[in-house]
Amino acid sequence: MLPFLSLFWVLAGIVILVVLNLKYKVHNIFSLLIAGIFVAIMVGIPLGKIVTVIQQGIGSIMGHLALIIIFGAIIGKFMTESGASQKIADTVIRHCGTRYLSIGLMFIGVIFGIAMFYEVAFLIAMPLVMNIAVKANIPYMKLVIPTVVGATMGHSLFPPQPGPVALISAFNADIVQVYLYGMLVILPALYCAGILLPRFLPGINRIPLNSIIKPIEEIDPQRLPSFKISILIPLIPAILMILASVVRPLAGEDSMLTQVCKLSGSAEISMLLATFTAIWFLGIKRGMTADGITQHVSKSISQIANVLFVISAGGILKQVIIDSDVGDSIVQLMSHVPFSPFIIAWLITAVIRILTGQGAVAAITSAGIVAPMIGAFDLNPALMVLAVACGSNTITLMYDGGFLLFKETFGISMKDTFKTWGLLELINSVVGLGMVMLISQFLG
């Protein structure tokens, strides 16, 4: 099939997905399934093979992400209920003072974004931020923006969040490089979107607040877990993943130490260990009963069931693209376009994100399209992970879940939502891409 025709049918499938979502309010799972079947038929996948492709698509994502998503939800629940999140916020803010409050809140946002689903991190952080804004007598949006900037970037760029984990797997990227280059990418983005934007954004002090957020009932400081435990638990997966990659070349691929570190540093096992640590220190050690722990775990899983299945359904379209060789066709097409492959990957992901309103789905779908570019153009897989991740974290429209969560939480107008949420996401995304391009120049 001609490259233009392959690309046309993929775009047509995305249009069907958007129309079903927005106009007919079809649930994401059904719209993703219908769009995937449509594209599969139009690009010539045999009818007898389509069901297999669907099973492979859902299974590939479910197999990689199911436990990670479940464990992430459980960790977030225990951090919230125990006051660990409050402890992190209180400690960082106490050391930052008013002058560096924005930087401290960005740090909190990044930690929460890495450790929890974005929506969970947002809903946990915002009551803390609103309380701090009142106490410090600072316009609330000047503190909301840096916190949200940190959460969105931490969630989009770093494992063990679902999007980055799926991209690392799809591109066979080195996880240590993703973390190292990711830190280089995130710092300028945090500064531009989290520090400069609130400083120069017109009218930020006068954005009215009709918030549905109620001040949090702070837990007695004497009953809070220690800061060390509170901050260690969400960082356990990152520490174990990096340790596994560092030990491998030092101890040798076949050594027992490497095998143990490789097992403990896998996304699933590292998240399991972090979950057990959270249950022990934030549950059992604080007097929680076995029934209480079971209730927390069950409630966490039920709350993220929809997210898990929607993300898994996003793998259908990705698998269709892979099995139909549409990605190879697009590589042929892009080889004649005078743009960097990183820009092309970013554009593809950003368009899918804008159209579908799903960051993880956009990253997973885009992975099937852009993966062949890595070998064709001899690209660094870790940088491609970050380019796609930045594309999945771009400006969104009024039907995006993050957009609506931001707007409705603070009760602000559509215009003010675009001016704040929209701009911070766009700056995040563009500056992040710029840093990926800069790093790629130094790496040759």
Task: Provide the pLDDT for residue 4.
Answer: 66
Contact predicate 6/43, CB 8 Å: yes
Task: Provide the pLDDT for residue 356.
Answer: 66
Task: Provide the pLDDT for residue 210.
Answer: 78
From residue 119, alpha-carbon distances to 15, 403, 405 in Å are 26, 11, 8
Q: What confidence tier does 241 reach under pLDDT thresholds 50, 70, 90?
A: confident
Q: What confidence tier does 213 reach under pLDDT thresholds 50, 70, 90?
A: low
Whether the pLDDT of residue 423 is over 80: the answer is yes
On the question of a cis peptide bond just before residue 46, with omega within 30 degrees of 0, the verdict is no
Cα–Cα–Cα angle for 179, 183, 187, rounded to 5 degrees? 160
Whether the pLDDT of residue 328 is over 70: the answer is no
Contact predicate 119/264, CB 8 Å: no
Average confidence (pLDDT) over 167-181: 93
- What share of the chain has pLDDT > 70, as a percent? 92
Task: Provide the pLDDT for residue 211.
Answer: 66
Amino acid 82 reads S
Give the separation between CA 219 and CA 86, rounded to whole angstroms.
8
Average confidence (pLDDT) over 315-335: 72
Q: Which residue has the tokens 């958007």?
A: 18
Give the separation between CA 150 and CA 114, rounded to whole angstroms.
9
Whether the pLDDT of residue 215 is over 60: the answer is no
Taking residue 210's Cβ as centre, other Cβ atoms within 10 Å add up to 10
CB-based contacts of 219-225 (< 8 A; 24+ apart in sequence): 219/83, 219/86, 221/90, 223/83, 223/286, 224/82, 224/83, 224/84, 224/86, 224/87, 224/90, 225/82, 225/83, 225/84, 225/87, 225/281, 225/282, 225/286
Contact predicate 65/312, CB 8 Å: yes
Q: What are the tens digits of pLDDT across the range 258-303?
A: 999 989 988 889 889 999 999 999 999 999 999 999 999 998 888 7
Average confidence (pLDDT) over 323-350: 77
User: Which of the two residues, 129 and 232, has the higher pLDDT score?
Assistant: 232
Give the separation between CA 108 and CA 52, rounded to whole angstroms.
43
3-class secondary structure per residue, 4-19 = HHHHHHHHHHHHHHHH
Q: Helix (H, G, I), strand (E, B), or coil: what is residue 98?
A: coil
Whether the pLDDT of residue 3 is over 60: the answer is no
Task: Provide the pLDDT for residue 327.
Answer: 63
User: Which of the two residues, 7 and 247, has the higher pLDDT score?
Assistant: 247
On the question of a cis peptide bond just before residue 160, with omega within 30 degrees of 0, the verdict is yes
Contact predicate 203/187, CB 8 Å: no
User: Which of the two residues, 353 and 182, has the higher pLDDT score?
Assistant: 182
Whether the pLDDT of residue 166 is over 60: the answer is yes
Phi, psi of 172 (to 5 degrees): 55, 50
Give the separation between CA 220 and CA 222, rounded to whole angstroms.
5
Whether the pLDDT of residue 398 is over 90: the answer is no
Give the separation between CA 382 and CA 38, rounded to whole angstroms.
32
Contact predicate 319/35, CB 8 Å: no
Q: Left (φ > 0), alpha (ψ -120 to 50) or beta: where does 44 sit?
A: left
Closest CA to 105 of 123, 134, 132, 72: 132
Q: What are the tens digits of pLDDT across the range 57-90?
A: 888 778 877 888 788 888 888 887 888 888 887 8
Task: Provide the pLDDT for residue 391.
Answer: 94
